[in-house]
Amino acid sequence: MVRLSALAAVAITACLQVIGGGASAQQIYPTRTVRFILPYGAASATDITARLFADRLSARWGKPVVVENRPGGDGIVSMAAFVSAHDDHTLWFGPAGAFTVLPYQPETVPFDPLHALVPIVSISDVVLAISVPASLHIDTINQLVALARAHPGTLNAAAANGISDFLLFGWIKQMGLQIAHVPYRDIMQAPNDLAEDRLQVLSTSLAVPQPLAQAGKIKILAVTSRQRAPSAPNVPTASEAGYPALTFESVGGVFGPRGMPEALRKSIAADFRAVSTDPIIAKRLTDIGTVMDIRGPDEFAASVQAQRDKLAAIAKILGLKAATTQ
């Protein structure tokens, strides 16, 4: 009887630890494969970052961590796959801007992303870049504006879904420029079109145009961050170029499904923080123009809210109204 009581006490203690989100909660997650669903294609900054962390977390957790690229639909394709999973082992990995801008883009959104996704951990601030074909022989945003005004309706532009799209085309509208919007299901196809001059303006994460820029086929005119990117120190910020309206830093990270317990979110965030100490991750992120910024659920949620507030202010200037959600 004494032995039975002792075993019962151990079992009760273990249950209480799981309910309370203690060490046991961390040990039982994950129990199976974890999926990271991304809104962008392979080789994007988000994809590179996700795979770096997936590798280290798989080793730490002892369970596979797979990356699923679901580009298209202004980010809705990836979010719909995430929301429909109803699974705490399916996480959405990407920039908050991919969904904070949704209310200002389609007429209706099939779900409320601001409630369907809960912040777990911020990973990095993604540096965005404005690029043009090297064959245009322009070096500044001023020259791009002059070219667009001299040849209205002849230039084509594209942007990654989310902040890049909102920021670029909001600015184009604000400047009164006639530049056509070319949509891409997968923005990773756009750099080659830019290099071949089928596209004249591209707004994406800095990682996307860098390889072709280094090959001399693309010219990066500016980055939208407040400070120059360590991986592209010769590229001015949009503010330095005279266009502070293009300044915007895109915070990105990992989100879980609505109702995910706070204790579990904090446990997952702690695991991300632990593997982020690998110096290879920090170097690789710097190389692709992102700045690692690991923050837990509460701080990440505050950053997402700050971004929403800034977007609302921009939308007001542009005369855009938030769409309804179903």
Query: Residue 57 in contact with residue 272, Cβ under 8 Å?
Result: yes
Counting beta carbons within 10 angstroms of the beta carbon of residue 245, is it exposed (0 to 12), middle (13 to 18) or buried (19 or more)? middle
Give CA–CA dist 265/26, Å, rounded: 10
Q: How far is CA 164 from the centre of its chain?
A: 10
Query: Residue 151 in contact with residue 296, Cβ under 8 Å?
Result: no
Q: Tell how many helices (H) and how many strands (E) occur in the chain.
A: 13, 13
Q: How far is CA 221 from the centre of its chain?
A: 21
Tokens of 264: 């579990």
Query: Residue 235 in contact with residue 191, Cβ under 8 Å?
Result: no
In this prediction, residue 166 carries a pLDDT of 84
> Strands 218-223 and 201-205: what pairing?
unpaired
Give CA–CA dist 267/273, Å, rounded: 10
Tokens of 270: 């702690």
Give CA–CA dist 28/17, Å, rounded: 11
In this prediction, residue 2 carries a pLDDT of 40
In this prediction, residue 268 carries a pLDDT of 98
Q: Residue 38: what residue type?
A: L
User: All domains of the chain, ordered by start, with CATH?
Assistant: 34-125+250-320 (3.40.190.150), 128-246 (3.40.190.10)
Query: Residue 223 in contact with residue 80, Cβ under 8 Å?
Result: no
In this prediction, residue 128 carries a pLDDT of 92
CB burial of 24-55 (b: ≥16 within 10 Å; e: otherwise) equals: bbbeebbeeebbbbbbbbebbbbbbbbbbbbb
- DSSP tag of 120: E
Tokens of 179: 């530049």
Regions of the chain short of the pLDDT cut 50: 1-26
Give CA–CA dist 19/275, Å, rounded: 25
